[in-house]
Structure formats: structure tokens, C-alpha cells
Structure 1
Amino acid sequence: FIVHDLYLSSETGVLFLQRPEAKKEVAFKEGYPVSVKTDLEEEFLGNFLVRKRRISIEQRNQALIKAQSEDTVLGAALIELGILTPEELQNFLKLQLREKLLEIFSWQSGQYQFVREPQIAGDIANLGMSPANLIYRGVMSRMPIEIITEQLNEWRTLFLIPTSDQMRRFQELDLTHEEAEFVRMIDGSLRLEQVVASSSLDLDHCYRLIYALVAAGLLETSDQPRAAAPLEELHTPEAQPQAEPDEAAKEEARPKDAELDNRVFEYFYKVQRANALEILGLSDNPTPDEVKQAYFKLAKEFHPDRYHDKPSVIRIKAQEIFKGIQSAYELLNTQEKIDRYLEALRTRGPEGVGLRMEEESSKEEQRKEMLKKVIEAESAIQEAEKQIVAKNWVEAAKSAKRAIVLRPDEAEYMAIFGWALYNLADLVADGRAQIPEELELAPDTDLKFVAREYINRALGTDPKLSRGYLYLGFIYKRQGLKDMAKRQFEKAVICDPSNIDAQRELNIIRLEAQAAKRKKSMKDILKDKIKDTFKKKIF
């Protein structure tokens, strides 16, 4: 269960996998798989798209020739040829990443080694699923049933216990209605063989599901029965069986990034101000069942799995919301606790009762200090963006620098600072501005070099940062390096099809190329006419 172990320990590094027929390198960042390198030709993007019947072999070959001749990536060539839209490419890159990971579950033997690395870049595509969902799909669709049966025979007389760990219980997992009903009957009182005997699922399906839930840490095995709350929270009414052809449609149905981000900001500030009842959205005198239902709903919405590929400012807020929801639930999950909390509200007042009625620990103080830095950094970067719009590069650079001091590993902050610094360089060179002391840079610093370093570091930290590629494109354009600028704008659109600035720049480049081609054609026509006239005069 290496994938789950890496997830639980939030490991960052590379998992090397090898068997006689294939080699793969799976990069993990904070416990989540972010990229896969493969030597299987069938998994290369062009071949993958042909296999999915989205493009023909002729279209693949045409795009490969264009990509090679223009020294660009295949995806950009497919977009420029009009074979794929940026949105389609982004979806297929996500599906390709999933397929490369899921294929590993079909291996019956092989060797692996995990090497920790402090910095992992990842890929420009997001996996778009939790490790639990990855395990579930891999086991259900790819893993040989012989391996599963052999393992479950060893567990046959052991009891299946739903985990009590809240992080594991609320992992994103898309079960079918039938599977969710099966899971709900597991309460720690039955042996595996008894669970299988009472299931309405066919045997292979039942075996695969149990194995997947154990591998994902949602079920545990024990030689002793142990009463445990069933995994009721796994089931969502809208969950449907997983079918690859419907993946693109499913992605469209998910909440948009902006909606999720706004919801996180809104609830984060609520958690900081509200009491336990308000955090869970409860009345002044809730029942334990109402507390449970409210907690389940919010814990699923704000589980860290949903935000792991977000910028750290969003990711950290979601983590704090999840902790706040857990704390509120712990204070209210029985009638006795509800009565005690309501009594404390009456006697101490709302200001005297927070999520923790005990004295604040040093650990809690550290957490609050960290959150304070996150909020201050966010405020500073918003000011930087405001100044960028106003083209006030001195203030933009100063504000972005403040954000980086507070949150030095945030990729977006690096990119914004780099762009402000690059534009400030022109002002300094013309004598219209000086390097502010707040930037902590020597007067003779090569600002443009430092600016590019920051943007490149941002993209090394987050290869999906569309803004970073956009800024590099602008820089190359100013330097007259049109081909290099074009490649950066293409990457920006691949990472974020809604990046209007990058789309506009690509349209300008295409129009200029078409105009140059027409101009060249007119010159050729004139030359031919002159030649014809000259020949007629001679003859």
C-alpha cells in the first residue's frame, strides 16, 4: 500500500518502479502523485490520443512534425493546428496522467524504491483525484484478481473495522450507490468472510472493493471485533459508477476553481470568528444527529484532498477550516457535550467560549502566528497586483517582496515579484526610479536577471502556474525572441485555457505570421510579373 503510506506521511520525492517490460518514475509532493515519467510508448501523449480515438494517426504525425520543426511541445502543436482546443488538451493531459498511474496497478511483480527529494516540480496537468480514489480505481479496474484473492484469503477470519481517523474517513472516494450501501453495513462486528457472505455484490466485485478500502486506509483488519461507526459519509447521492468516457463530463460538473476559492476564503474567516455552533451552521439547541449531519457535510467539503493542488494560501486555509470543523464536532458530538457547551455559552458569553475551552497551548499559538503570516502575505500580494494594474512598479515590487518574506515558498508570489522587478528595471535604467531599500538588493544588481530567476523558480515550484509562463512570454517578446515567447504563451494557455492575456498574445503572433506570409506572397507575385515583362521585352 505504498501510495497510501506516502499520502499519510505527506512524503515528497520520487517513487521508482521497474519490471522487465517497463520503467516508471512517479513524483509525489506532500503525499500526492503529481507526475509520471514512462518508457511505454503507448502512454506517450500522441499515442494516447490516438488510442482514445480523439485524433487520427495522420493528425498525430502532422502535429509531431510541427512540434519538432518549431521546437515546441506536442500539445501546443495540436492546439495551433486546430486539432484540439486548450480545454480539451487540459482534460486529456489529466486523463493521460491518470492512465499512466492506473497502469501500475496491473503489475504482478516488480521492484520499487522511494527517494526523498526536498523539491518536486510535478507536471502541468493535475491528477484531479485523491489518492484514495486512485487506489479505488486501480484496484477495481486494473489489479489482477488473483493477487486480491490471495490476500483476502489471508484476512478471511479477521474483523473489518472502519477507521476512526477523520482524515482517512473523509477522503474523496466516488463509490456507486450499491457499493456505498455495502460499506455501510461494516461496523467492526463481522469477520471478512461474514461480510462477503452477506453482500449482494458479486464475489469479484466484493473482493476488489474490500481490498481497495483497506489499501486506502478506510478499513482496518483486526483479530478482535471493535465497535466502530460505519463509513456513512462516503456515500453521496450524486456518485455514479466510474466510466472513462464520462470523465470529461464529470470534470465540467465539478465546482469551478473561483467558486471553490471564494468559498474557502469565506469559511476561513468564519472559523476564525465563530463559535462551534456557528461553524457547523447549527441552531442554538441542536440534536446529536444534527451535529453529525452538519459535520459530515462540511468535512467532505473542506477535506484537504479537494485542495491539495491549490496555491498554498488556499491549501492552508482549507486545512485550518477542516481542523476547526473537527474541533467544533468534538465539542458537540454527544448530548452531554452539547449541554455543557450551551451552559458555557450562557455563563461566559460568546467571547469566552471558542473551539477550545482549555488554555491555549504553545502549539496553538504557533498555529495562530502562522495563520497571521498567511493573511498578511495575502493582503500584500493583493496590493502588489493592484499596483501592477496601475503600472506602479516600485510599489508593486515592494508589496510582492513583503509577501515573499512572509511566505517564501509560494510560487505565485515569486512570479508576481519577478514581473514587477523586470518592469522596475527599465525605470531604474532610465533614472526614473531607484531600487527601494525594502527589496534588499544592491544598487548595481541586474534586476532583469534576478526577475527571470524568480519567475523560473516559481515555475520550478509549480509547473502549472499559468501566470509564470505568461510573464516569461512577455519578457521574451520584449527581447524580440518571438518563437520563445510563443512557446511560453502556449504553455500558459495549456495550464489555464481561460488565460485571456496569453490567448490574445497568441492571436497577435498568428495574425503577424499570416500578414508576413501574405506580404511575402505579394513580393513573389511582383517578382514574377517583372520577370515576365523583362522576358517579353527581350523576345
Structure 2
Amino acid sequence: MQEKWGTLNDIGFPRLLHNIFAARDSASLLDMENGKVKKRFFFKTGIPVYGISNILSEVLGRLMVRKGIISQEVYEKSLETMLHEKKKQGEVLLAAGHITPHQLNDALNIQTKERLFSAFAWVNGTYHYYTIEKLPKDLFLYPVHPGYVILHALKNGYYPAERMKTEIEEKQGQIIAFAHKTIYALDDFQPNPPERRALTMIDGKRNLVDILAEIETRLSIPRADIYPFLCALLATDVLILQEGGKEKKPEGPSSEDKTLIEELTGKYLKLKSLNYFEILGIGWDAGNGSIKKAYFKLAKEYHPDRYHNNAQEVKTAASDIFTLINTAYTTLSNEKTRRAYEESLKSGVKQDVTQDAANIMNAELQFQKGKVALSRKDYKSARESFEWTVRLNPDEGEYKTYMGWTIFNLSPKDAAEVKKAKELIQDGIAANPKQDKAYYFLGVIHRVEGRLEEAESCFNKAVEKNPNIPEALSELRLIQMRKQKEGKGFFKKIFKE
């Protein structure tokens, strides 16, 4: 398959995986981006074999804690060993006897699957597919058949249910049949027995709505339960839909316009990843004459007016490109804005998902270092480590929480620092509301400030998140004892009067 840029909204991840599998390129990469989240998947002959991401919950150690393979304590100790011995987490856990080779193998396999599964939830987002000469040697390859990935991601709720329902229901009047040729075997999908039985209902003569009704009545399979299976087989061209009766007039853009939309969207996404010099195809030393010449050449090709006879979607795609070109031109043709832009390029670091993934792991290592310093009440060292974690991974709420707590412990009587500490913890909660420790830390700060009602509320929230958090439970007991003591004192005062 040729190098391709596109949006997931147009194609959907199931179809994209199928197209890659159908191409059977010997070695290839798929880069995906959705807001700040990035993923990269490696493919061997069209089959996904490895994945990386900048999502903290997908780090191997955290995944093993979540799956009950190791404890949180073991995970944190392994990070400390990684810091000192410069080893990978799997190696550290194996050497310490915390896991078996079989458990490591299973965890790495689950990690690859989960990174793939979570990408199915991306309705928006962009992708870039391209071939490479060969896969890197240091990868632990875990092949997962795309048929299996597609079906089980759909069945387990990773793909938007409404989108799946719409994809089925808008085609109910069409005849459903098996394709004459397919690149899949049924076992590639690993369907369950009811799904296999449902296929016996398809005869290539009846429309989808009739087949769904028969599956529901004769096999007692609810429609919602069979939708993922049918969607998976339709996305992979194992099943096809044909018009029955009168030929339906095509809706939306023509096939020519659809091709044009795809080409223009790909061009836009490619340009979007470039700097302004690269967009215009000029060097850093280009003068105003060269800038203007490059601009007019591109503007002539991508001005929306050129596509006035095409569908609105074509004009919109062209307009997006033209806006990028125009912004590049106006920035570089002005001496002041060009100088400022050049400085921003020199100071900025363009990172791909590989560097992001490294930052995530390095942030985890610094986080563990900070927690060790915090346990020793070395608040200065803890702050230095937590500052690094926030710098390396600014989107992780837990890091901000511990940063705030450390600042409070460093300067509990400095009003400005205490305010900063509370703001950081609140930011941490906003980013990750599941943190029991965040509410506990905030509760302690409120207690020290004499805000007992706010403190009690925070401790209760900490217990809601984790019923076994000892620190918060202890604080709540002390608050209750204080209330009882104050109550007794109140009644004594009344009787004396």
C-alpha cells in the first residue's frame, strides 16, 4: 500500500486495519494521533506485531498491576531498580523472581492487544501509514491477527456503539451475502458458537433486516449482540452488501469527489506535520521573491475556487490546505514574524511517539525517585524529581498531585505556596479523578488551615475512591472523636448553667 495520510472519521479503524492487512507489506508503520495521545503500530506482512504509545496506563508495569500479575509495591520497587541498574522493567521483574517468563510473555501480548483495542474508540484523530525496509531488531514481536483484533474490540465495547449501530441500520434494506473471495479464514476472527450459527442464516438472497430478524427469532440472539460480528465481517469484506430491487441513487459526493477528498485530506495532514518552510518547499535562506513564487504556485493548485464544480466536502478540504499555505506565506514574508517563527523552531523540539513513550517511562522513573525522597521527608529532592515528572508528562494528574503535596510540605506556612499546592492537587484531580491520595492530601491541607468541614469532605471522597486507605480512615476517626468530645463539652456547659 502506498504511503497514506487520513482521518479516522472518514475510514474508521476497523477498515484501516483491514486495508493494511490486504496490502501485505513486508514491514510498515502506522502513526496515529488524537489530540495529545499518540500511538505507533508496527506491521509484518500486514499483521500488527508491536505497539507503543504515550499513554501512562499502557506502560507494562502499570498494566501488570491492573491485571493482578504484580502488586503496586513490587511495581514501585522495580522502578527503583530500573533507575539504578538501567534495565528494562520486564528484565528487572524476572531477575527478582516476581514474574515467570510465561507471565511476562502474556503481559506483553496483552499490552499489544490493549494498545490496539483502545485505538478503536478514536472517532476523530489522524493516521499516517508508510512502509519501511525492515522492522527494528530490538522489538519483542507479538503478532495479533487483525480479524481477531477487529471482532473482539467491537465486542468488548471499544468501538463507539452508536457508530456501529448506524453502520448496520442504514444498510438494512440491502441484500447481505458472502464475498466470492476473501483473505480471511473464519477462525482468524475466533467467533463464538452462536456467531458461527448466525452465518448459516445468510444465503445471499435476503436483505439484512430479514436476516437480523431470523437470527433473533430462530437463534435467540439479540440484535445488539450480533452487530459486532456483522460489522467486523463487513469491514473486512468477508460479507458484502448489494442493492436489491431498484437501483439506489448515490448519496453524497460522487466516487470521483470521494477520491479527491481523500487525496486532499491526505495532503492537508502531511502539510500540517511540516514547518512553514517545508510547506512552501523552500530553504531557510529563501528571499521574499522565492517565498512569493512558491506561494503562488501552491495557491493556484489548492485555492478553493479551483474546485467550484465539486462537492462542498472537496472545497472544504482544499480550503484547509489553502489556509495552511496562506499562513506560511504571511508569516515568512514579514521580516518580524519570520524572525520570531525561526526562533520558535530553533527552541522547540519536534517529538514523535517514540520520544513521547520514552518520556512517559522516564517520568515514571522520576516519579518513583520522588516518592522515595518524599517517604524520607527529603522534600527538596522530592520536588526536583516531581518537577521532572510534570515536565516530561504534563498530562498525568497523579504527578501534579504529588508535586502539590511536596510544595505544601516544604512551605506549610507560606500562603502563596500553599495556594499553589492546592491548585496543583486540584488540577491533578481534574486530570485523574480516581486518585484517593489526592483527596487525602487536600484534606490534610484543609485540616491544617482549620477548614474541618472541607477536610472531612475530602477524606470521605478519598475513602469513596479507596475504602481501604488507612490515612483517610484515621483522619475521619479523629474528626469523629473531636465532634463527640465537643458535643459532650457542650452538654456539660448546659447542665452547669
TM-score range, shorter chain: 0.3 to 0.5
TM-score under structure 1 length normalisation: 0.40
TM-score under structure 2 length normalisation: 0.43
